[in-house]
Amino acid sequence: MTSSSRRRAFAVAALLAAAIPALAACGAGFDANTNVPYAPGEAGVLISDDGSGQAYGMNGIKIPQAFILGPDSGEQIAAGGSAPIHLTLLNGTGVADQLVGIVPEEQKATSVKVQSPIAVEPGTLAKTPGVTIEGLKTPLRGGETIQLTLRFEKAGDIPVTAPVVTRSREYATLSPAAQATPTPAASAAAGESLAPTDATLPEAGQAAPSGSPSAPAG
């Protein structure tokens, strides 16, 4: 191993050692049906377990954090809605990479919106702002899991299983995803017009008819 490779390996190990215990501590307050919201485990992709915590990934990309932000405690996100995805990515290679897309499991959602490719520089932690799972096929209450396939430009596809956490306790300050609302046109089409359609309005300069016929002039 060259000196530059050793330095890079030490830097990655230091980042993991600092990040994973802190992320695991956040999980201690998780009040849905799992207490490991930062263990996006999938068979065969555990690539780091140094005693301080675990990280998942493939081809040099490590994923120490992955979760989907669900509803407030006791509430639900209805089918058809959306929810934010929070990931922390660590590039353990010497080459810059990009997260270019995410594919959800077909039974759980229709798509994941990634606003633009997310750069993952060598030896650095990267967050994923603005990533949203959309077109949920079943309601989310918290405690569920959804399999995601993360697509990287160089590292390829990496599967993770992300838990759904409720928006409470340490997650209460995180912003929920905007839910679709009916458009004015759709709202108008859904109901009948309040104005009668067969009324005849008087022409300009013509008096409106009274409630009873007027008496003839004597």
Q: What is the mean pLDDT of residues 32-48?
A: 42
109 within some domain: yes
| pLDDT tens digits, one per residue of 143-178 | 999 999 999 999 999 999 999 999 998 889 999 988
pLDDT band at 134 (very low <50, low <70, confident <90, very high): very high
> ∠ CA(146), CA(107), CA(109), 5° rounding?
65
Tokens found for residue 17: 């050692």
158 within some domain: yes
Q: How many domains does the chain have?
A: 1
| pLDDT tens digits, one per residue of 10-21 | 444 445 444 444
Query: How high is the mean pLDDT of the chain?
Result: 74
Can you give the pLDDT at residue 44?
36
Tokens found for residue 8: 């890079």
19 within some domain: yes
Q: What is the mean pLDDT of residues 194-211?
A: 50
CA-CA distance, 118 to 97, in Å (whole number)? 8
Closest CA to 150 of 175, 178, 179, 114: 114
117 within some domain: yes
Judge residue 138's burial from the number of C-beta atoms within 10 Å of its C-beta, 0-12 exposed, 13-18 middle, 19 or more buried. Answer: middle
CA-CA distance, 20 to 26, in Å (whole number)? 10
Q: Which CATH number fits the domain that encloses residue 15? A: 2.60.40.1890
208 within some domain: no
201 within some domain: no
CA-CA distance, 38 to 48, in Å (whole number)? 14
CA-CA distance, 45 to 58, in Å (whole number)? 6
pTM value is 0.64
Range of the domain at 78: 3-177
200 within some domain: no
CA-CA distance, 165 to 68, in Å (whole number)? 6
154 within some domain: yes
